[in-house]
Amino acid sequence: MALQDIVATTVAGLGYDLVDIERTPGGTLRVTIDMPWGGHGSEEKTVNVEDCERVTRQLQFALEVDGVDYKRLEVSSPGIDRPLKREADLDRFVGEIVDLTLKAPIGAAAATGPVAANRKKFRGTLGRTEAGWQIVWSDEPPPAPGVRVSKKKKAPAALQALGFTWDEVKDARLAPIVDFKGRRPRTAAGESQ
């Protein structure tokens, strides 16, 4: 049985989702797990140390039985910059801010307004469309911490949107945005308040 299959079967058997497997040249085997998704509107659970320990113990046994050679096993949660490895991950995180890298630049046909035709990286809110997916962003920088924001009303920067399919994605991950006030509850539409 292949390493991917052994790890995926073991992790799924314990009730977790396999996010990623990485094998380093030094012999370290890194396994990233997450809690299964219950659908929109369900409470989001996170992986804790006990979950990682439980998976580590079971994986050590399964890898020994199948004779997989490794020097060190690391099991962890995906963290705040969780990679989005499957199209199902995009569906799970609709309404969240993501960092997206396309395989190829958007090109002159898709470049509208101030967007450069050779741009491949975007940070914005992930959305679903009939044709696939979209990312909506504004190029207006957020106010710097500690800097006073003028109370004068000025027109906000225009929102821009880019539609894409899963086949066009090179890398996607949740944007590592830390809010020390805690996670805000999602609204019914799946967007953060």
Domains of the chain: 3-76 (3.30.300), 87-174 (2.30.30)
Instruction: Give me the DSSP letters along 92-118.
Output: HTTTSEEEEEESS--HHHH--TT--TT
H or E element in which residue 63 lies? helix 49-65
What's this model's pTM, rounded to 2 decimal places? 0.74
**pLDDT confidence band for 193 (50 / 70 / 90):** very low
Residue 190 has pLDDT above 50, yes or no: no
- pLDDT, tens only, 68-124: 889 999 999 998 899 999 888 898 899 999 999 999 887 755 656 667 778 899 999
What is the residue-averaged pLDDT of the chain? 83
pLDDT of 61 > 90? The answer is: yes
Q: What is the pLDDT of residues 136-183, one digit of tens each?
A: 888 777 777 777 777 776 777 778 888 888 999 999 999 987 767 665
Distances (CA, A) of 131 to 27, 127, 165, 166, 170: 42, 11, 8, 11, 19
Burial of 4 (0-12, 13-18, 19+ CB in 10 A): exposed
